[in-house]
Amino acid sequence: MGESGRSAAWAERADSFGSVAAEYAVLRPTYPPDVVGFLVGPDASGGSGRRVLDVGAGTGLLTELLVAAGHEVVAVDPSAAMLEQLALRLPDVTTAVARAEALPLPAADVDVVTAAQAAHWFDPAPAAAEMSRVLRPGGTVGLVWSLRDDRAPWVAALSAILAAENVDRFRPAAVAEAFARELGADVRSTESVFVQRATPEDVVAGFATRSYAAAMTEDRRAAFLGEIRELIATHPDTRGREVVDLPHAVSAFRLTPR
Ligand SMILES: C[S@@+](CC[C@H](N)C(=O)[O-])C[C@H]1O[C@@H](n2cnc3c(N)ncnc32)[C@H](O)[C@@H]1O
């Protein structure tokens, strides 16, 4: 669906991240380190550091792992507030306020484009066209999402609360396929599990950083977060625990244009 086909509410949610940037930087789960190797892929030239563009980089959760793996990273995001948080943790990374649909990079500039927890916000046709333009020949695109893993009973109960809020869930594979179509790319994928260990209050505060919560009125958000707090306090899996395990299913895709 094109940007023009998206609702005003969608655009408002996509733009809501700046209001929770500082909390986001601390409370969102990161990604398993081995996912970086998969997203960036093998280097045909045998060199170590690649030039990577991280789109929708936000506060830099994936950017940080890319830098730690020895890559030179450019980070872009439409939210200046998110990028300010990124600059605090990664002062050497070049940043630019921009959208995936209009990237501020020259043609054939990077080896890899990554997007973590972000490509579902992009309009696939113009974003893929921009990715193709900035990628060097032989370049690839790495997409990753980390979503709550409902197989744990308390997480299923949590998801029921979220479903009541009409929080739409997208399928990572469907988003990756849409990008693969636009890019004319072959897709490889991998799945893993990542467990975030957090205090109940940090879990609650993490939900306050979600785009749907940031877009609620203050009263609605307080009631919604209260329900999550109550669930953790009473569910047999989590009751009385100082630290709870919040499992995430991590889905990563590497797209290689043909
Ligand atoms: C859930 S956050 C993910 C941030 C970071 N990559 C991470 O893994 O934590 C989604 C990010 O996508 C950004 N975003 C939303 N719409 C975008 C667009 N059209 N182009 C690029 N980034 C966008 C938001 O500003 C936000 O920082």
Q: Rounded mean pLDDT of 118-137?
A: 97
Q: What are the tokens at 257?
A: 């244009």
- 215 lies in some domain: no
**pLDDT tens, position by position, 6-28:** 677 767 777 766 666 666 555 67
Per-residue pLDDT averaged across 113-117, rounded?
97
Cβ of residue 117 lying under 6 Å from some atom of ligand 1: yes
Query: Between residues 72 and 164, which one has the greater pLDDT?
Result: 72
Report which protein residue has its CA nearest ligand 1's atom 10: 118
| CA–centroid distance, residue 226 to ligand 1 (Å) | 26
Q: How far apart are CA 126 and CA 257, in angstroms?
A: 16
Q: What is the CATH number of the domain that holds 14?
A: 3.40.50.150
What number is the average pLDDT over the span 195-217? Answer: 89
Q: Is 56 in the pocket of ligand 1 (CB under 6 A)?
A: yes
Mutate which of 36, 77, 117 for ligand 1 pocket (most atoms within 8 A of beta carbon): 77
74 within some domain = yes
Q: Tell me how far CA of residue 95 lies from CA of 67, 72, 116, in angstroms.
A: 13, 12, 16
Listed in sequence order, the DSSP H helices in the chain are: 8-14, 21-27, 34-40, 61-68, 80-89, 124-134, 153-164, 172-183, 200-208, 211-214, 218-234
* Overall domain count for the chain: 1
1 vs 97: which has the higher pLDDT: 97
The residue segments making up the domain with residue 191 are 3-147+169-195+247-257
Q: Which residue's CA lies nearest to atom 8 of ligand 1? A: 116
- Asked if the structure places residue 220 within a domain, the reply is no
Would you say the pTM of this structure is higher than 0.85? Answer: yes
Q: What is the pLDDT of residues 71-91, one digit of tens each?
A: 999 999 999 999 999 999 999
Residue 50 pLDDT greater than 60, yes or no: yes
- pLDDT at res. 164: 80
